Amino acid sequence: MSKPRTVLSIDVGGTKMLAALVRGTEIVDTHRMPTPREGDPAQWLTALFGAIASWRGAYGSVGAAVTGIVDNGQWSALNRKTLDIPDGFALTETIERLAGVPVLAANDAHAAAWGEYAFGAGNREDMVFLTISTGIGGGVVLNGRLLEGLAGHFGQSRSAEWPDDALEDHISGHWIARQAAPHQSGATARDVFSAARDGHDFARRIIATSAERTALLCRNIQLSLDPRRIVIGGSIGLAEGYLAAVDRGLEAVPPRLRPSLHAAALGENAGVIGIADLAERQQNLRENQR
Ligand code: BMX
């Protein structure tokens, strides 16, 4: 087995951007910055590549894991409230111009699903990855294949209760922060978890409601795809006490219908490790076809 080469992975989420030099499952170096809420993706990516200019020459390909849907290298938002991306942004072309090496781009939760399947809590079995973060994303790996396109976009689900809204707008980090505003002005989702840890009832109720709704979503995923595992990731999904609260929401579910929930073993690195492996596989394929 040849030694894995170094890949530049970038993970652009609704709240933060993470750049990492990745070699197999080793994170060699990282750089984090907030995802700008102004400007356009070309400006965001130019700023990120400016911040990691010293890494040029250290990587032979780029993997880009981004919130939103990626179709043939074109990037679009499904929920502009999660991140306001113009339709059909030329993501792969822009990064290839900035980096000067081949690029593979995919949805962030798809990348994380592959990372957890291949190297983490997915145990290389049929699995669904669910990230509860700024939005709610997901990825599905069945028979060793990562489903692409809209597959896994559970946060965009519609329900009879909120037919005009994306489900994530009633569960995720943005929703948690909105619910806390009347109690703690300007609170972020992270502040709500701190307030819950400090015993504030308003915060505990908000988190319990979010977790109950995530438990319902997991039940529906189980009935749709019957995965061996549902691996939970994301800043909310991995926050203290959240996964336990979701599990409590499943206690009354009959065993055959109950999802088996596991915390993402790779944590916030699932996306950068997953997209690095996918980019390396594409690079190897290209080289073998020469
Ligand atoms: C949204 C959607 C998904 C994404 C998910 C988690 C947009 C911009 N994003 O459902 O593609 O995977 O949020 O995104 O439509 P994150 O920013 O919370 O990682």
- Specify the pLDDT at position 253: 98
Q: At residue 2, does pLDDT exceed 80?
A: no
pLDDT tens for residues 202-253?
999 999 999 999 999 999 999 999 999 999 999 999 999 999 999 999 999 9
Closest residue CA from atom 19 of ligand 1: 13
DSSP for 22-82, please give it: EETTEEEEEEEEEPPSSS-HHHHHHHHHHHTGGGTTS-SEEEEEESSEEETTEEE-S-TTT
Q: At residue 280, does pLDDT exceed 90?
A: yes
Please check whether residue 246 is in contact with residue 258, taking contact to mean a CB–CB distance below 8 angstroms: no
In this prediction, residues 261-279 reach a mean pLDDT of 97
pLDDT tens for residues 63-106?
999 999 999 999 999 999 899 999 999 999 999 999 999 999 99
Atom of ligand 1 nearest to the CA of 35: 17
Q: At residue 143, does pLDDT exceed 70?
A: yes
Confidence (pTM): 0.96
- Tell how far the Cα of 136 is from the centroid of ligand 1, in angstroms: 6
Please check whether residue 90 is in contact with residue 74, taking contact to mean a CB–CB distance below 8 angstroms: yes
pLDDT, the chain, mean? 96
In this prediction, residues 28-37 reach a mean pLDDT of 96
Q: Which of 40, 76, 108 gets mutated to test ligand 1 (max ligand atoms within 8 A of its CB)?
A: 108
Phi and psi (nearest 5°) for 106?
Answer: -155, 170
Closest residue CA from atom 13 of ligand 1: 135
The span from the first CA to the last CA of the chain, in angstroms, equals 20
Closest residue CA from atom 11 of ligand 1: 68
Q: How confident is the model at residue 140 (pLDDT cuts 50, 70, 90)?
A: very high
* Residue type, position 117, single letter: Y
